[in-house]
Amino acid sequence: MRNSTVVLVLSCLAVGGCNAGHSAMEGAEHFGEGFGDAATAPLDILNLRPEVIPTVLLQAQANPYDMRNMSRCSTIGAEVVRLDAALGPDMDEPPPVDGRFMSERAADATADAALGAVRDTTTDFIPGASWIRRLSGAARHEREVQAAIQAGRIRRAFLKGMGMQRNCAPPAAPSWFVPNPGTRR
């Protein structure tokens, strides 16, 4: 009995050790994938690499309460899905399940911290970076991006409210909403 317990403990340690090594490799890959963006962060300050605003957010910014072609639950749901693709999941959605091992999450956190250090190092050498951001238009563009994101969030909330009013199923309504089956449109 005692030998089988020792074998079981050693097996668990070996698997854990293998997982830690695998996690470290994934963390290194994560660092490698993000290194280019971190190293070229000064291009963002100079507005030489502006973030592209998705069309669905520009449309939301132009008219967040537009209901043209939104007479059916399917069209409302399709628009909400487009907004989700641009914005990420809405607040009513449960957070995605993170089935990774603790060592994998730690490796990713370490890689993110290292990438932040690289990004900070590459941008810290630029004197007057805040003024350069203003003069290059990078600060203005960042405000435009944030305004488009805000308009997209407003539109998504509005559409989900309209979906609830019309008794639509999610995604045309919040994920917790259960439509009345007798009055669905």
Whether residue 10 lies inside any domain: the answer is no
129-138 pLDDT, tens digit each: 666 767 777 7
Number of domains in the chain: 1
Tell me the per-residue pLDDT of 60-90, one tens digit each, with 9 for 90 and over: 999 999 999 999 999 999 999 999 999 999 9
Q: What is the mean pLDDT of residues 152-165?
A: 96
Q: Domain for residue 3, yes or no?
A: no
Q: Is residue 4 part of a domain?
A: no
Whether residue 67 lies inside any domain: the answer is yes
Per-residue pLDDT at 159: 97
Please state, in angstroms and as integers, the Cα–Cα distance from residue 60 to each residue in 13, 92, 165, following that order. 53, 20, 20
Classify residue 113: in a domain, yes or no.
yes
Q: Which residue range(s) make up the domain with 61?
A: 19-93+102-183
Average pLDDT over residues 8-13: 42
At position 177, the amino acid (one-letter code) is F
Considering the domain boundaries, does residue 2 fall inside one? no
9 domain residue, yes or no: no
Q: Which position has the higher pLDDT, 128 or 122? A: 128
Confirm whether 141 is domain-assigned: yes
